[in-house]
Structure 1
Amino acid sequence: MLTFVFSVYITDGIAADEVTGTAALSGAQTWAGVVIALICPLMGVFADRYGRRRRLLGISTLGLVLAMASLFWAEPDPSYLMFAVIMLAVASVVSEIASVFYNGMLLQIATPSTFGRISGMGWGLGYLGGLVALVVCLFAFVLGRETANIQPVALLCAAWTGIFCLPLLLIGPNTAPAENVGRFSVIGAYRDIVARIVALWRTQRSLLHFFVSSAIFRDGLGAVFAFAGIIAAGSFGFSTEEVIYLGIAANLVAGISTWTLGRVDDRLGPRVVIISGLVLLVVACTAVFLTTATTAFWICAIVISASVGPVQSASRSMLARMTPPGLENENFGLYATSGRAVSFLAPFAFTVAISIGGTQKAGILGIVVVLVIGLLAFLPLRATNGVRDAAV
């Protein structure tokens, strides 16, 4: 909901002009990505060693709720621009920290035979929740008003997050501390991460290849949704109401496609889903840059929405297939770490493209570049199913 509503409010309602607002927002998200890359891997190591995953999730969720709620005080005036983009960046950082602990719970509630199904269901229900939240936002703050009242959306997001996270925080799986753990060392934690990567290079190079390539294209996937509403409003003249309709359609299509293409994943393999989805994304995003027609933009947006979810789900499925028994925790931890290590890449490319092109819509070419790099890096990969590769 913040993606499709509040980010547009920042660029169109707070900033002096759309280019300035978009550049400030993407710049803040770039720095948020840097912070995420530095902090989140440490949080994963900390949780593995000291346990109490549910408590850590509760603390980070509280931080997210407070960061969201603070945006209520972002007035529609250019003097509030820096406050708004900084607090949205803080919300992004805390959200990613919370996801470290949340994703770790998946291995406690699923078995190898149900991991893909539960992961895909999680993505699909997440999109459904986003759809419902956008409908509530539409009727509560937009329809029937001459001017949309966006500031309360921040409070709605905060309340929505807190309420629906509460059951997990109360009854979700917890973890006990590891045995014989000493005092936490930041340098030691980074040393352990590097040691894991070196071990993969020596023993399972295809898996390391997957971590690197998927980290790149997953960052592009996140940027597609993060900046979709901004481009719709700034470059195609969408009103707040129309942006919300776009968000509803995008979440609906993404949820349906993620569930239905799970069978294609099982039948043809996740590699087919990932490559075809990335190709469609590159074509559709490029078409968005080239077109000025609203109808063409809607068609491209539907294609993009139908592609993002299946690629996200198939990426997790592919890692599950490549992971040897007994290495699930380590590999999914590295999967999260690698994704966050480049989480600044797409926002940075988006900002640079705007600076070069001089228009907001040029930013999407930066995302296209990231997706293409990720696709090209992924293409040579020939995955094995839980078998150690010979180091080449």
Structure 2
Amino acid sequence: MTTVVEASGPGSIADIPIEAELMGDGKLSRGAAAWAVFEGARIPYVILITIYIFMPYVAAVMVGDPVRGQEIISRWSQYSGWFIMATAPFLGASIDKLGRRKTWLALITVLMIPMMWALWWAKPDGSGMSVLTVMILTTLVGVLYTYSEVLHNSLLVRAAGISAAHKASGLALALGNAFALLTLGFTAWAFALPGSGLPFVPEKPLFGLDPLLHEPERIVGPMAAITFMIGAIPLFLFTPDAKPTGVPVLRALGQGAVDLWRMVSGMKHYKDAAIFLISRMFYVDGMTAILIYGGIYASGVMGWGALEMLMY
């Protein structure tokens, strides 16, 4: 079945009218593969920092009280969620009017990488970075992470076309899991298992990291930064961008706000879409809560260390 896709406005996916074969089996281009690699390179931050290694370390070691640690992380996660709720929809609604995405995506990437790396200085005694500073940094990265997700997702059809979008999306999910598994496996092999006497495992942690200073937990910040930096490069080299619109940023955001209000006020005419969006909102909120609390609960309540968290 062939259809003409809207070329402008909130539902547009291209800058000129295109004909696309829906549910096709298009070839995965180099730009589409680069788009998928970017997604894969972002996921280790969530796995290493938010869920399994770094945040449980902050709650159990830096704060020193598991209950207090959970409270602090929960509160700052709320701050992040509220800010994203208030701002991300306007960014999404304004994307078509902003035109080029890769410039904004590059700016966000450049801001995120040094903030990830800086988590290395979150020392157990707070001498390098206080708990408050850590929470501010991770909250800022969380907000920028969501913005990068909005901008990155808007490039999917431009990168892969409608007929291959499902392939690029599936590849991105697969790469995200692969990158996460590889980084967790490397962390276990290089920093948590040394000295265990297992074959093919180093006798001491690589790079001279000191477990007593919790350096194996802190090194995941630079690891996530390096993975993200390397994985982002192909997107900026090969993934096609939208054409410039010439609309000033403030005007684009204002027009996006108008479109967003029109969409919300007209939602009563699209009940199926409204049910889907509301249901997905509750699903994502529940999943996010599990991701945030799973690691800090296992670390704080069950007393699991770095190795147990890696196995988990």
TM-score by length of 2: 0.72
- Report the count of equivalent residues: 245
The structure 2 residue matched to 1:96, chosen from 110, 134, 146, is: 146
- In the TM superposition, what whole-angstrom CA distance separates every residue of 1:232-266 from its partner, at most 9, and x where no partner exists? 211222211110122xxxxxxxxxxxxxxxxxxxx
Distance across 2 between alignment mates of 1:71 and 1:180: 37
Aligned partner of 1:45 in structure 2 is: 93
Aligned partner of 1:5 in structure 2 is: 53
The structure 1 residue matched to 2:273, chosen from 191, 204, 207, is: 207
Matches within 5 A, 1:334-353: none
Aligned partner of 2:123 in structure 1 is: 75
Distance across 2 between alignment mates of 1:240 and 1:166: 31
- In the TM superposition, what whole-angstrom CA distance separates every residue of 1:127-176 from its partner, at most 9, and x where no partner exists? 11111111222233323255442222211111111111111122212011
- In the TM superposition, what whole-angstrom CA distance separates every residue of 1:8-65 from its partner, at most 9, and x where no partner exists? 1111120030111111011111101111112222322343212221111111111111
Change (3 A) 1:78 1:19: farther
Aligned partner of 2:4 in structure 1 is: none
Aligned partner of 2:74 in structure 1 is: 26
* Superposed displacement of residue 221, structure 1: 1.6
Distance across 2 between alignment mates of 1:65 and 1:95: 11
Is contact 1:13–1:76 with CA below 8 Å preserved after alignment? yes
Could you say what secondary structure the match of 1:184 adopts? helix
The structure 2 residue matched to 1:192, chosen from 248, 255, 259, is: 259
* Superposed displacement of residue 207, structure 1: 0.6
Change (3 A) 1:8 1:198: same
Distance across 2 between alignment mates of 1:139 and 1:74: 22
* Superposed displacement of residue 78, structure 1: 5.6
Aligned partner of 1:316 in structure 2 is: none
- Determine if the alignment matches structure 1 residue 174 to structure 2 residue 241: yes
* Superposed displacement of residue 111, structure 1: 4.1
Is contact 2:97–2:252 with CA below 8 Å preserved after alignment? no
Is contact 1:52–1:175 with CA below 8 Å preserved after alignment? yes
| Higher relative contact order structure (alpha carbons within 8 Å, sequence separation ≥ 6) | 2
Q: More helix per residue: 1 or 2? A: 1
Distance across 2 between alignment mates of 1:240 and 1:43: 38
Distance across 2 between alignment mates of 1:132 and 1:160: 11
Aligned partner of 1:280 in structure 2 is: none
Is contact 2:117–2:221 with CA below 8 Å preserved after alignment? yes
State the percentage of identical aligned residues.
24
Structure 2 residue identity aligned to 1:2: I
- In the TM superposition, what whole-angstrom CA distance separates every residue of 1:299-337 from its partner, at most 9, and x where no partner exists? xxxxxxxxxxxxxxxxxxxxxxxxxxxxxxxxxxxxxxx
The structure 2 residue matched to 1:151, chosen from 208, 218, 221, is: 218
The structure 1 residue matched to 2:305, chosen from 239, 244, 256, is: 239
Aligned partner of 2:282 in structure 1 is: 216
Aligned partner of 1:119 in structure 2 is: 169
Change (3 A) 1:140 1:25: same
Could you say what secondary structure the match of 1:238 adopts? coil
Aligned partner of 2:38 in structure 1 is: none
Is contact 1:53–1:101 with CA below 8 Å preserved after alignment? yes
- Determine if the alignment matches structure 1 residue 133 to structure 2 residue 200: no
Distance across 2 between alignment mates of 1:11 and 1:114: 43
Could you say what secondary structure the match of 1:236 adopts? coil
Q: Which runs of 5+ in 2 are unaligned?
A: 1-47, 195-204, 206-210
Distance across 1 between alignment mates of 2:285 and 2:107: 25
Could you say what secondary structure the match of 2:304 adopts? coil
Change (3 A) 1:112 1:188: closer
Distance across 1 between alignment mates of 2:89 and 2:274: 16
Distance across 2 between alignment mates of 1:198 and 1:179: 28
RMSD over equivalenced CA pairs, Å: 2.2
- In the TM superposition, what whole-angstrom CA distance separates every residue of 1:176-234 from its partner, at most 9, and x where no partner exists? 133767852645432220101223322x2111111111111112122322322212211
Distance across 1 between alignment mates of 2:61 and 2:82: 27
Distance across 2 between alignment mates of 1:30 and 1:90: 12
Please tell me whether Structure 1 or Structure 2 has the larger radius of gyration of its CA atoms: 2
- In the TM superposition, what whole-angstrom CA distance separates every residue of 1:251-302 from its partner, at most 9, and x where no partner exists? xxxxxxxxxxxxxxxxxxxxxxxxxxxxxxxxxxxxxxxxxxxxxxxxxxxx
Is contact 2:188–2:307 with CA below 8 Å preserved after alignment? yes
Distance across 2 between alignment mates of 1:185 and 1:111: 25
- In the TM superposition, what whole-angstrom CA distance separates every residue of 1:80-110 from its partner, at most 9, and x where no partner exists? 2111122111111111111111111112233
Distance across 2 between alignment mates of 1:161 and 1:67: 12
